[in-house]
Amino acid sequence: MSETLIGVGGIAALFFCLVARMPVGMALLVVGFGGIWVIDGQRAGIATMSSETYSAITGYSLSIIPLFVLMGNVAGAAGYSKRLYEAANAWIGRLRGGLASATVVGCAAFAAVSGSSVATAATIGKVALPQMKRFGYADGLATGSVAAGGTLGILIPPSTGFILYAILTEESIGKLFIAGILPGILLSLLFVLVIIVITSLKPSEGPGGPGTTVGQKLLATLRSLPLVGVILVSIGGIYLGVFTPVEAAGVGATLVTAMALGTGAVRLGRVPGILLETVTMTAMLYLIIIGAHVFGPFLALTHIPETLSLELKELGLGPYATLTMILIGYVILGMFFDGLAMLVVTLPVVFPIISGLGFDPIWFGVICVIVIEMGLITPPVGINAFVVKGVASGVPMSTIFRGVLPFWFAMAACLLLLVLFPDIALFLPNQMR
């Protein structure tokens, strides 16, 4: 059997494992190890697994993961997400569709400390959905705004998607973080625009919320400032060259933890649970990284990436037609597979093609993350939609998926704008010191 056929069989086996709901990291590890064993022998398989396991998780840069995960977990446990939502709600909640727009703004702000779309959707959803239900918002708009707003968690830095992309492609984590800022703001504005259009056409979908006085607005804003300050210090420090991404993660985690414990927002009794949650999430991400480092050499042995690259070049489609094919493939895969798994499996094949076509790797990282976001709200998998279902148990899944559809098109529009105007993603990274 040829190496290419073994590679195709390995990829099919990987997809079967993922469909069977085997943990992503374990599926990558098993298929990668087994494939290397078949092609190069048992000794090579064991050597690759042992060496790659050690080298994959001992890099200094990987310490960014537990630090940012800890920061997000502490902020969520301390109720800082509620303060962010309340501040946005105080300013725009009284407008038509304002509670949904405040949800998107709250998600965007909390995304800057959580790094996780699922955590953002779940945390903000618990605060925002009861409020929207209270004021008569349509179920589709309410759940759709939470599910879509939650996807900002892996676009606005810090982002686990960017960290994984950087590790797989050896690009700068700091530049990827900064590259996500303007696209994150753009996508947030597009989501708000979707809400404005929906509520303009059907005012009953999102009636205005309660008005607030100037004093209430200022108080809500002041209550949110400590966390906003942490965001500005950590992300701004990366941009200005004051901190490395790892140092920024350490500073952010320390400041949020000190605030939460110092103000009594988090009691000491809750600390073990927060740490356990952090270790669990970190272990899951580390396992994915280990699996990727074993699966990558297997793919290299099969020569599939080089073969596909040559085949695409021979088709003569041109850079943008090839990019369009890749993005369509990502959207289709996103309908069935976890976003991080999709990234790990496809990047060894796709990244050499993208680099060969002359596209900027930082820009493509942003594109990849947005496509993953689209998968998070696309049926039948749509993880964020199921997370929202857990919060809004009385709303049918069909209603939630109908509700996210306009926001999906907003993501597609954001992708198009990034392809037409790459500087949206590249302007800030190019200004970094």
Question: Does residue 427 register a pLDDT over 90?
Answer: yes
Helices (H), 159-244: 160-169, 173-179, 181-201, 214-240
Three-class secondary structure assignment of 401-429? HHHHHHHHHHHHHHHHHHHHCCHHHHHHH
Contact 410, 168 (CB under 8 A): no
- Residue 174, token pair as written in the block: 């700091």
* Segment 93-141, tens digit of pLDDT: 788 888 899 999 988 888 887 777 878 888 888 888 888 888 889 999 9
Most confident of 263-277, 323-337, 415-429: 415-429
Report the b/e string of 412-429 with b at 16+ CB within 10 A. Answer: bebbebbbeebebbbebb
pLDDT confidence band for 192 (50 / 70 / 90): very high
Q: Cα 408 to chain center, whole Å?
A: 15
Q: Based on C-alpha coordinates, what's the Rg of the chain?
A: 22
- The arithmetic mean of pLDDT across residues 396-422, rounded, is 93
The pLDDT, as a whole number, for residue 377 is 85
Per-residue model confidence as pLDDT tens digits over 219-248: 888 888 888 888 888 888 888 888 888 888
How much is the pTM? 0.86
The pair of three-digit structure tokens given for residue 270, joined into one six-digit string: 């809750």
- What does the pLDDT average to over 336-359? 81
> Measuring CA to CA, how many Å separate 119 from each of 35, 107, 247?
35, 10, 23
Average pLDDT rounded to a whole number, residues 399-405 = 91
Assess whether pLDDT exceeds 80 at residue 159.
Answer: yes
Can you state the angle between helices 245-262 and 214-240, rounded to 10 degrees?
Answer: 150
Q: Which amino acid is at 302?
A: T
Is the model's pLDDT at 382 over the cut of 80? no
**In the prediction, which pLDDT does 410 show?**
95
Q: Determine the pLDDT at residue 420.
A: 93
CA distance 351 to 356: 8
The whole-number pLDDT of residue 433 equals: 59
pLDDT of residue 190: 96
| CA contacts within 13 A on the Cβ side of 8 | 6
Whether the predicted pLDDT of 167 surpasses 90: no
Q: Is the pLDDT of residue 69 over 90?
A: no
If you average pLDDT over every residue of the chain, what do you get? 86
Residue 328 pLDDT level (bands cut at 50, 70, 90): confident
Query: Residue 160's pLDDT is what?
Result: 83
Q: What is the pLDDT of residue 1?
A: 65
Cα dihedral sign for 97, 225, 246, 280? negative
Greater confidence (341 vs 272) lies with 272
The more confidently predicted of residues 153 and 310 is: 153
Is residue 56 within 8 A of residue 289, CB to CB? The reply is: yes
Confidence of residue 180 (pLDDT cuts 50, 70, 90): very high
User: How far is Cα 283 from Cα 400, in angstroms, rounded to an integer?
Assistant: 31
Q: For residues 205 and 141, is the Cβ–Cβ distance under 8 A?
A: yes
Task: Express each pLDDT in 277-304 by its tens digit.
Answer: 999 988 888 888 888 888 888 888 888 7
When comparing pLDDT for 292 and 196, which is higher? 196
